[in-house]
Amino acid sequence: MQGLVRGGGARDLRVDFFRGLALWFIFIDHVPGNRLGDLTLRNIAFCDATEAFVLLAGYAAGMAYGATLERRGWLFGAAALLRRAGTLYVAHIFLFVVFAAQVGYSAAILDSPAYLDELHLDPFREQPYHALLQALLLRYQPAFLDILPLYIALLVLLIPALPLLRRPALLLGLSGVIYGLARSFDLNLPNWIDGVWFFNPFGWQLLFLIGCVLGHAPPGPGGRRGPAPVVPFRQDLAAGAVAVLLLGAAAMLVTHSAEDWLALAPEGLTLMLAGIDKGALHPVRLLSILALAYLLGHAVPREAAWLRGRAVAPFLVMGQHGLPVFCAGIFLSFLGRLALEQSDRGLMQLAVNLGGLAALVAVGLVAAWYRQRERGEPAPAAPRGAGLPVAVPSSTTPA
């Protein structure tokens, strides 16, 4: 498996590992009744795997398209971003059609129309042609199918912002203004069913562009790529980040496990907790994911030896091929739901979670194998006495 992991050069394996972990968390969180979901990020912090995925996607985009900007200029970088957005669009439409067929067929066979209503697919049953048209326009986004449209919109928004990676303070300042306008005046894109997109791209662009700024490595002397910027470690910042995460963990504990305590809390506090929305990326959620990233970024060095070990190779493969793994995770999460509705005991819980993880890793391995052969790279040879082949260097293009 390690032979199919891309590494070396300027690639940051921390991004691949945490993105792979986020993809597994997204699968877990999409399976209702999954007990392992009690241990994912969404139940211990004011953020979840979606924030982690968007931040890491921005970091990878900053590395890849920032390097393209420096080597080939804005026009080529814009074309590369449009090409990637087009790939995501095709994947989204394919995912929409197959997921609608999967849920619709299950609802018919199991005589459970509630699936369609719960996953917002009932308009597709009632007005299939109109629903398909709205899906093609990204104006119809059923449950679980709203992350890829957000990613597409963020890549398109990056096109005019790409040259400003050279002026990060100005870029983040403008991004912060757009974020404030989006939250203050409900600036959003239209949605056929719910009025507006659930994930407001004008809110989430701030987190994505923060990742881009952190991932962009400006050229150093002689035009060579320098190191990506690092927020320096300071004890006061670390203490503040820990405090933010501890407060979030305490709030989640009280909200999910001690509702009687929540009833005794001041009304203002309960209203504040209820107002921490995800759709437009509430500042508390933004602060929480940045605090987590700050601590992990310093706790896990880029050269950490364990990032090249066999134990983490499955997550690296998943993280390096995020698009097919994410799409497969949507299909598998509904299958996991059907399985747990038949039995939610420990053995079935174990089968759903481990089986889902194994399937996601298998998808990542197939994608890695295909990419390796497409680029004409030779098959890696296993070193004598080892059961797994060695790592193969490659580029930093985001998966």
- pLDDT, tens digit only, all 399 positions of the chain: 656 677 655 678 999 999 999 999 999 999 999 999 999 999 999 999 999 999 999 999 999 999 999 999 999 999 999 999 999 999 999 999 999 999 999 999 999 999 999 999 999 888 999 999 999 999 999 999 999 999 999 999 999 999 999 999 999 999 999 999 999 999 999 999 889 999 999 999 999 999 999 999 887 666 566 666 778 999 999 999 999 999 999 888 877 666 666 666 676 767 777 789 999 999 999 999 999 999 999 999 988 999 999 999 999 999 999 999 999 999 999 999 999 999 999 999 999 999 999 999 999 999 999 888 887 765 554 444 333 333 333 334 555
| Closest C-alpha to 291, from 229, 248, 255 | 248
Give me the phi and psi of 225, to 5 degrees please.
-65, 130
Rounded-to-10 torsion of CA 273, 152, 331, 13: -80
Do the Cβ atoms of 392 and 377 come closer than 8 Å?
Answer: yes
Q: Quote the pTM value.
A: 0.90
